[in-house]
Structure 1
Amino acid sequence: MDAAGAYGGGKAGTPFDPIQFVQRPQVILRGLCLLFAIIVFGCISSQGWAMGKEKEYCLYNDDSNACNYGVGIGVIAFLAAIGFLVGEYLFEQMSSVKTRKHYVLGDLGFSGFWSFLYFVGFCYLTNQWSNAESPPLGVGVNNVQAAIAFSFFSIFTWAGCAWFAFLRFRQGSEAAFAPSYEADPAAMPGGGPYTSYPMGQEADAAYQEPPFSGSQTRGPVGTDFQAPAY
């Protein structure tokens, strides 16, 4: 099945253009998702924990679940962003329309779900940080706040990815249900109106007159008979 233009992609097998690739909105957003994910889990992993009197504790109000949640969604978002970037690179090479549809649906579902998880994470980390005590000498404050800020930014980057995936899916659905022909053949590209079947002679042509005309009639052989005139 030809995948030319299916779900917002070009024709399968077209040469790869790196400049055009990096200018796609989907690729730009994936790059931002990748960057923000590194910042979120990097900040929490590096200075989101502090050493207390007895054990190491999380700066988010001593809630280890908050630190683990931030690191978890950040790491998974990092891996997913790499996977979707590879998918964007291979999208033009997908010759099957069904394969493109599955990719777009997966992108739509995951991106929308991860945007929601980042929203939950932002609210969770903000609430715990607002109730936490300031760490000694302010160590780790900037990292903790940066993780919160970029969790907020990630909500919109992943939501943007979901929006573009929805546009792709809608474009593919409209193309699937579009009519394959027009009722008027003249409206088709390269088409023209139907022509009648060629006929050698006119259908309503008059019959030829008989070869013999007149009132003279042949009599018996050897004789000529002429009808008497009255």
Structure 2
Amino acid sequence: MRKAVSTLQDFSDHDMVQFFLRPQIITRTLAGVFSLTVFASLVNEGYQNLVTSSELHCVLNENDAACCYGITVGALSFFQSLLFLGFDIFDNTVTSYKFKYAILVLDVTFSIIWTGLWSVGFCFLAHQWNRSTHHYLLGASAARASITFAFFSIPCWVYLACLALKNLWAEPPIPYKRSLDEGSVALTTLSSSTTTTSFPSNVGYPENVGTASYPSTPVPNRLTLMNSDA
């Protein structure tokens, strides 16, 4: 029993497991799954024909625009989820601050855009389904699935937008971040140099500072000079 518990603990402490347990990764994965469900439901059973005609019609009030909207938004949203999931996987290997900052800006922008598109899509698909006069036998489940998962996609993208905006606020702009890094390096170098440099406490000075010493020249005897001249 203890061995099994320790094995599970080691497995949960693995970097890959911790990565997939992050709230951002879980939410992004769910958003991709919901988008794929909307796309696949409308592609497989979104177009049906009546008994009296072989022509295919959209199950959502026979409005082809509704099915096209759900398929297009679902496919693009799914591919974007995969793209940003790849950016999250290789985030630790990217060293360029410009690239990281650009990815954060794009993540915030596209998350807000997809929130609006899924909100419009849910209202549009639900309205067309309520106005449908022909209820197809095989297309009813596809219509309900597309409407349900379009609604579930809205809180996912709202949460992703909030997380991306929070990460963007936590990441300072590039020139400001570079100046902070350079300032920290300068302060660290200055502090290390001041702590390691020591000055002598007792400095010895010469006693006779300011007094100039000149060589003494012998003064000749004046009497001797006078006798020699005479």
Superposition TM-score, scaled by structure 1 size: 0.71
1:190-229 deviation line (CA, Å, top 9, x unaligned): 68679885475278x996999xxxxxxxx998xxxxxxxx
- Counterpart for residue 140 of structure 1: 139
Map 1:74-153; keep pairs closer than 5 Å.
Answer: 74-136=74-136, 138-153=137-152
1:93 Cα deviation after fit: 0.6
Summarize the Cα distance change of 1:70–1:160 in structure 2 as closer, same or farther, 3 Å threshold. same
How far residue 51 of structure 1 moved from its aligned partner, in angstroms, is 0.4
2:200 is the alignment partner of 1:201: no
**Secondary structure of 1:141's partner?**
helix
CA shift, 1:89, in A, is 0.9
One of 20, 23, 29 as aligned partner of 1:22: 20
- Residue 228 of structure 2 corresponds to none
Provide the identity percentage.
27
Which residue does the alignment assign to 1:37? 35
Give the Cα separation in 1 of the matches to 2:100 and 2:66. Answer: 37
CA distance 1:189–1:146, change in 2 (3 Å) = farther
Give ranges in structure 1 of 5+ residues lacking alignment: 1-15, 211-218, 222-230
| Higher alpha-carbon deviation: 113-122 or 188-197 | 188-197
Pair 1:36–1:199, CA change in 2 (3 A): same
- Structure 2 Cα separation of the partners of residues 109 and 120 of structure 1: 17
Structure 2 unaligned regions, length at least 5: 1-13, 213-218, 222-230
Q: If the length of structure 2 is used for normalisation, what is the TM-score?
A: 0.71
Q: CA RMSD in A?
A: 3.7
Hey, which of these two has a bigger chunk of helix by percent? 2
Supply the distance in 2 between the matched residues of 1:71 and 1:62 (Cα, whole angstroms).
15
Residues 5-29 of structure 1: per-residue CA shift (max 9 Å, x gap): xxxxxxxxxxx92112112222111
Q: How far apart, in 2, do the equivalents of 1:86 and 1:150 lie? A: 23
Q: What corresponds to 1:154 in structure 2? A: 153
